[in-house]
Amino acid sequence: MITVEQVYGTPERPDELPVFKDFLPGDVENVFFNLDEFAEMRFVDGKEMPIITQKPGVNPYDAHWQAGAKQNFDEGLYRADLILYVKEKDYGPMPKSGKLIRLDKKRDYFVKECSLKMGVYRMELERVR
């Protein structure tokens, strides 16, 4: 049997217990962006970094009847959505809506929305073809 002794706080404040927020920064780095678990090394805007992607799907794109007006087919036939999670320290400044992002040096997406929580960007990307 293994016995683990956990000591919390300091001698001045021995009863101070850690809370969820105390563990989260370490989990972001060591669990979520762990290359053996969730993350994978990919190129974002020409720079290789660990990212996590989520693909909500590919939807038909109503290019010919959009907003009640007839459109040209050169605007696209389908829309591919992608959610990208990347660490702020790896990516840099937060991208604005409409920014073009190149993924893996070959696919271009536009940023629909971006938010920052606990040092991680959640980018909703869209690609129209």
d(CA 53, CA 39): 8
List of residues 6+ apart from 48 with CB closer than 8 A:
41, 42
Low-confidence ranges of the chain (pLDDT < 50): none
pLDDT recorded at residue 58:
54
pLDDT recorded at residue 70:
52
pLDDT recorded at residue 88:
95
pLDDT recorded at residue 1:
64
Nearest to 56 by CA among 109, 116, 1: 109
